[in-house]
Structure 1
Amino acid sequence: MARIVRIHEYGDASVLKLESVEIPAPAADEVQIRVKAIGLNRAEVMFRSHAYLQEAQFPSRLGYEAAGVVAAVGSAVSDLAVGDAVSLIPPLDIARWGTYGEVANVPAYLAVKHPAKLSFEQAAASWMQYVTAWGALVDQAKLGKGDFVLVTAASSSVGLAAFQIARLVGATAIAVTRTRAKKQALLEAGAAHVIVSDEEDIVQAVMALTGGKGARVVFDPVGGPAFEVLTQAMARGGILLEYGALSPEPTPFPLFTVLGKSLTLKGYLYAEIVSDPAALARAKAFILNGLESGELSPIIARTFPLDDIQDAHRFLEANQQVGKVVVTV
């Protein structure tokens, strides 16, 4: 038996229930980990609220990220052993391999022996943000030296990961934030420039920073009315990667801007990398090298104990954090 977080219905954070559940042995291609830390993601808030791509089968586990110690290995697993410290590259199913709890069975090929210098909290905060940002910026947009990338929802963990990856490949990250409350924190987190959208014209500001050329790459999880503004701030031949739909408002299609600038607008999902073994191998190598060198360093906004999982979700939903919310077990 282990304490596991489950939901029995959709709703606010109060539907998260910490329950004693019997955990089966891992399948042949799985490992069982004794969880030490859990990285929270907005996807889990959306899943809990019935606003996600995947439907729940109640009672449902949830959770994409965790770090811990291998407690058991499946019969087909040969590269991991009991006692190994590992962290999880998020699987494609938020519920089947749910990580919220004291114990989790996870796919062995996604369990990584991370650098020993990382704490369990740092390791649990790494993979979703860096794989998501690497896949969009490096693998698909080919971000490189001299490029400008415009990053919205910049205080999220993925936004912060984008700053670090941009700097690592020689590009310049421009963060967009609504108010100036987070401006200094974003600069300290690695953004080269910060645009406060409530006070500044995004297009004018980007053009001033890029010498009138615009940003070649835009990385946006919001959509909504600002989508059109973002395309106006882009360089000719640029690419916009849309990886979310946080805005509740409709997203217009800026036809004449797209035609006039020969823009590429691409919907992007983290799953594109995880479901492609070659891309996943490239991502893993890039991220492990960056974590080992310290050029990639997850920023943790706040930690909560597992008993306070509801409060952790409420804090995440309040959008006051800069960085990752982590739950310790």
Structure 2
Amino acid sequence: MPRVVVFDEFGGPEVMHVVEEPVIEPAAGEVRVRIEAFAVNPLDQMMRAGNSPAPVPLPHARLGVEGTGVVDALGSGVAGLSVGDPVILVAVPDASARGSYAEYTTLPASQVIPRPAGLSVPEAAAFWVACSTAYGALVEKAGMRPGDHVLITAASGGVGRAAMQIAGQIGAVPIAVTRQPSRRDELLAAGAAEVVATPDVAGAVRSLTGGAGADIVLDLVRGPGQQELVQAARPGGTLVAAGFLDPRPTPPPADAAVTIIDYRSFEHTLDPVVVRRMAAFLTAGVRLGALRPAIHQVFTLDDVAEAHRHLEKGLHAGKKIVVEV
């Protein structure tokens, strides 16, 4: 029988184990996907450890909000897809019940898109969450335009790298923020136009923008450091808070001249109209060579616990960890 990763208690990577389960027939409007690979994301780690923003019912909880595979079966009423089509999962809001850490999963047909040609299976598995989050925050929410100076925190991470590439694709100017000056050349190669590696972020950004400040700030960290990012934005600029890397409270903004937007990617990935726009933009980026996920290492399903240990120890250096099924 097909295999699936489950966990019956919260804890470290060791709580995950592989079991066998029968395949489930897709309901009306659903598809069954034979998973070829999935990416390991921080949300997976939070769910497994019991720190998820949403409750995770135990026992026999599943994981996985990202993956790629081929359509294996169609429920009644599904149009526009055929058995054998390669697809990417765009949203798994009930990951604890039918996440992508499995050989098969079922989900609404509206929550898959065609896999862009030119991506390998591991790249396709690691493509959507980072790229859709960056696109949704910068394009849909902040209205990024050509020529905009875009300040990107946590630029070495998956969403940060995608944000730099998407900004470059649209003709904006991505400015990467890093706490590690040794990563300057790596970030420039990944798509940054400029790199800020100093505690005086606001001063550095003012210098790079002729005193104006950033038009858009993508804050993937939050916490007390957001105050410095607000100061780095121009009056009338926009800060989109789209991450939670700093668990400390984020103080209310002291500068009302900057619009602050709180962003959750499911806001868009559950909207079929926006998903079509996302898919068109991101597929074009792949075709043009502007978008390409960075893969750290590929594990097997039997080594899924080791993949989580790599994520927790930071051994991936911001690149994506993928598990092939």
Q: TM-score range by the shorter chain?
A: over 0.9
Q: How does 1:1-329 map to 2 (within 5 A)?
A: 1-58=1-58, 59-197=60-198, 200-255=199-254, 258-259=255-256, 262-320=257-315, 321-329=317-325
Moved over 4 A (4+): none
Contact 2:221 2:246 in 1 (8 A): yes
C-alpha deviations, 1:68-98, integer Å up to 9, x for none? 1221111221221211111111232222330
Could you tell me how far 1:270 is from its partner in structure 2?
Answer: 0.2
CA distance in 2, matches of 1:168, 1:84: 28
> Structure 1: which amino acid aligns with 2:261?
K
Contact 2:10 2:50 in 1 (8 A): yes
Contact 2:110 2:272 in 1 (8 A): no
C-alpha deviations, 1:39-66, integer Å up to 9, x for none? 2211111111222221111211110111
> Structure 2: which amino acid aligns with 1:137?
L
Contact 1:135 1:270 in 2 (8 A): yes
Unaligned ranges ≥5, structure 2: none
CA distance in 1, matches of 2:190, 2:299: 22
CA distance in 1, matches of 2:170, 2:45: 32
Percent identity, aligned pairs only, is 42
What RMSD, in angstroms, separates the aligned Cα atoms of the two structures? 1.5
> Structure 2: which amino acid aligns with 1:17?
H
Contact 2:91 2:266 in 1 (8 A): no
> Structure 1: which amino acid aligns with 2:226?
F
Could you tell me how far 1:171 is from its partner in structure 2?
Answer: 0.8
CA distance in 1, matches of 2:279, 2:97: 23
Sort the Cα spacing of 1:17 and 1:182 in 2 relative to 1 into closer, same or farther, 3 A.
Answer: farther
Sort the Cα spacing of 1:113 and 1:54 in 2 relative to 1 into closer, same or farther, 3 A.
Answer: same
Unaligned ranges ≥5, structure 1: none
Specify the SS of the correspondent of 2:310. helix
C-alpha deviations, 1:195-236, integer Å up to 9, x for none? 224xx4211111111111111111112111211111111111
TM-score w.r.t. length of structure 2: 0.95
Specify the SS of the correspondent of 1:86. strand
CA distance in 2, matches of 1:271, 1:311: 28
Could you tell me how far 1:327 is from its partner in structure 2?
Answer: 0.8
Contact 1:3 1:18 in 2 (8 A): yes
C-alpha deviations, 1:130-176, integer Å up to 9, x for none? 11111110111111111111111111111111001100111111111
Specify the SS of the correspondent of 1:96. helix
CA distance in 2, matches of 1:219, 1:93: 27
TM-score w.r.t. length of structure 1: 0.94
CA distance in 1, matches of 2:77, 2:320: 34
> Structure 2: which amino acid aligns with 1:279?
V
CA distance in 1, matches of 2:143, 2:157: 22
Specify the SS of the correspondent of 1:95. helix
CA distance in 2, matches of 1:11, 1:130: 29
Could you tell me how far 1:104 is from its partner in structure 2?
Answer: 1.4
C-alpha deviations, 1:252-276, integer Å up to 9, x for none? 1232xx23xx111111000111233
Sort the Cα spacing of 1:90 and 1:276 in 2 relative to 1 into closer, same or farther, 3 A.
Answer: closer
Specify the SS of the correspondent of 2:97. coil
Could you tell me how far 1:289 is from its partner in structure 2?
Answer: 1.5
